[in-house]
Chains A and B, each alone.
Chain A
Amino acid sequence: MGFHWKWDFTWEILPRLLEATLNTLIAAGAGYAIAIVLGLVLALAQRTPYRALTFVVREFVEFIRSTPLILQIFFVFYVGPQFGVRMSPWTSGMIAIGLHYSAYLSEVYRGGLNSVGKGQWEACTALNMSTRQAYTRIIIPQAVPPALAGMGNYLVGIFKDTPMLSVIGVAELMHTANAIGSESYRFLEPYTLVGVIFLAISLPAAGFIRVFETYVRRKLGLK
């Protein structure tokens, strides 16, 4: 067979792969949306005065971070039905990857929230704000800029982890490349293209995140 690249085959499979890229982006976007919201919940839950809650959430975050994503994906998809929770590959995949990254994002938020000085809380108390007002108006807006770099890293991270969803049959990029390979017995072109597509999205995204961080800081009037 040798090591020769077939351009006509490349052009033939490219539309199919680009279509799958859209699925990959949707998977990453939806998973990230879940992680962003759930991560904040997990971070805030660790800051309440209720020790039992703090403990449980802390252990949960540690558990998620200490076990492989692929295991969590399998678990949700294959073990769920045994308890009567039957979900499509897409739903299972989004839940698993969203949950996984929410644990990581909660750590990023935690760092951001901790970086806001005690004096800001005291000013909130002196102005008689409620805890909720303090968080939404004062603390979280200041916690966002220092968290943005970490949040951006995990956005690229979740994007690069979406191929793991192929193991439960989510028709994203990797899954499609595998399918093309087993149909045509040519793997060089589809896998190479997958790599190129990932690179073409990840690299500009990282640059965009840096620009966005500067923009947000300026917008908030922070140095």
Chain B
Amino acid sequence: MEDMSQYPLELTGDDIPMVRFMNVTKRYGKLTVLDRLNLDVATGEMVTVIGPSGSGKTTVLRMLMTLETINEGVIYVDGKPLTHMEKNGTLVPASPKHLRMMRSQIGMCFQHFNLFPHMTALENCMEGPVQVLGMSKAEARKRSEDLLELVGMIEKKDQHPSRLSGGQQQRVAIARALAMRPKVMLFDEVTSALDPEVIGEVTNVIRDLVNKHNLTMLMVTHQMGFAKDISDRICFFFDGSIEEQGAPDALFGNPQRERTQQFLSAVKEAG
């Protein structure tokens, strides 16, 4: 058993990070996917995670969305433990109720969009606010239409996902996640399943979000140019831990570690 007394019940101090991974370890059976990960994301910061497949980068986002449990360590969101909760002065694994409370601060977009196929674009966006936040339909409609406008999908609001292209579906998915007003947005390879010619329409929406909103964002992507343009910080993952991290210009322009150099040159060759 891990000694939980090393973890604070909540974070205190002047600049509490929006997200803190503290010694987070994730294993699948004997395979260690993430090994004692320590990572802070500041409020309003845009952090991009890059790295070869199998390096654990998607797992980072999935743990934060509580789609995966963790084996060791603690994740904090806005200073409060996400994966754990306080009980009798110590941290114990979070109850479903605690997870539901904490999860409301986090939104996620997926590689394969995961829109609800039996609902129109507008209904997809309204579903969370109405069902989960208990908002009135009129209010939820207003909010959803504003967001569909933001992502340029207002004309298609009454279409079902099967009638939309991949890029359009992903833009609706972004609007759907934003409708819940999360503090942290997670983008998990949101352009990987798209045809090359529509990648731009999705990256432009994310670019807009970065420029105009003070959202904290964590993104996994293979679009290096895009990552370089919009990120505050890049984390290069290798073999379950952060091999190197830094400002985009530094990491892409002058990588220090050999594995980073190898990865970046391999990516460059691939186009």
Which residues of A112-138 have CB atoms within 8 Å of chain B's CB atoms?
117, 119-120, 122-123, 125-130, 133, 137-138
A211→B177 CA distance, assembly (Å): 36
| In the assembled complex, A223 has its CB within 8 A of some CB on chain B | yes
Residues of A within 8 A of B161 (CB): 221
Beyond A137-B127, A142-B118, A221-B117, is A127–B180 a contact (Cβ under 8 Å)?
yes
Partner of A123, one of B106, B110, B160: B110
B67 A125 Cβ-Cβ under 8 A: yes
**Separation in Å of the B120 CB from the closest CB of chain A?**
7
**Separation in Å of the A219 CB from the closest CB of chain B?**
9
| In the assembled complex, B95 has its CB within 8 A of some CB on chain A | no
Beyond A127-B180, A128-B128, A133-B131, is A220–B118 a contact (Cβ under 8 Å)?
yes
A222→B160 CA distance, assembly (Å): 8
**Separation in Å of the B158 CB from the closest CB of chain A?**
10
Can you name the residue of chain B whose Cβ is closest to the Cβ of A126? B108
Chain B interface category by residue count: 20 to 34
Residues of B within 8 A of A129 (CB): 128, 131-132
**Separation in Å of the A135 CB from the closest CB of chain B?**
12
Partner of A127, one of B112, B118, B128, B162: B128
A221 B160 Cβ-Cβ under 8 A: yes
| In the assembled complex, A141 has its CB within 8 A of some CB on chain B | yes
The proximity string for B residues 117-154 relative to A, scoring 1 for CB distances below 8 Å and 0 otherwise, is: 11110000001100110000000000000000000000
Main secondary structure on chain B at its contact with chain A?
loop
B100 A128 Cβ-Cβ under 8 A: yes
Beyond A128-B103, A130-B100, A221-B162, is A123–B131 a contact (Cβ under 8 Å)?
no
Residues of A within 8 A of B84 (CB): none
**Separation in Å of the B67 CB from the closest CB of chain A?**
6
A126→B99 CA distance, assembly (Å): 11
13 contacts between A and B (CB under 8 A): A119-B114, A120-B114, A122-B110, A123-B114, A126-B65, A126-B106, A126-B108, A126-B114, A127-B127, A127-B128, A128-B100, A138-B116, A142-B117
Since A119-B114, A138-B127 are in contact, a sample of 19 more A-B pairs with Cβ atoms closer than 8 Å, ordered by chain A residue number, is A117-B114, A120-B116, A122-B114, A123-B110, A125-B65, A125-B66, A126-B107, A126-B108, A126-B110, A126-B114, A126-B177, A127-B132, A130-B100, A133-B132, A137-B127, A138-B116, A222-B118, A222-B160, A223-B162
B residues adjacent to A (C-beta < 8 A) = 65-67, 100, 103-104, 106-108, 110, 112, 114-120, 127-128, 131-132, 160-162, 176-177, 180
